[in-house]
Amino acid sequence: MRSTTADPQAGLRALFLGLLVVIFAGALLLLFEGEAVGASGQQEMEAVVVSPGETLWEIADRFSPESVDLRVVVRELVELNGLESKVLRPGQVLQVPTARF
């Protein structure tokens, strides 16, 4: 019969290898977390054509979850689109982030 002795270093090597796998997997998750961001590092945008009578508030409301403060979204839309006024014209095209809101 063969005598088997446990290598005390084998357990430590297995633990170390397991920790490396967990760290690597975590790093990959963090790297690909912002999938809505394109390869260039910019957010994906959707072009929205303003309908007659439509307001920034309505557009912000349409593209935002209920938990988001619409004042913040409107301010961000103004900045993103370089608007000098919050008054919109029919046919005007606005860029709206698709994943941010």
Residue-wise pLDDT for 32-62, tens only, equals 554 444 455 567 889 999 999 999 999 999 9
What is the reported pLDDT for 35?
A: 45
What is the reported pLDDT for 71?
A: 93
Residues 3, 9: contact at Cβ < 8 Å?
no
Question: Which whole number is the average pLDDT over 14-36?
Answer: 67
The amino acid sitting at 64 is S
Residue 46 backbone phi and psi in degrees, to 5: -120, 130
Entry pTM: 0.56
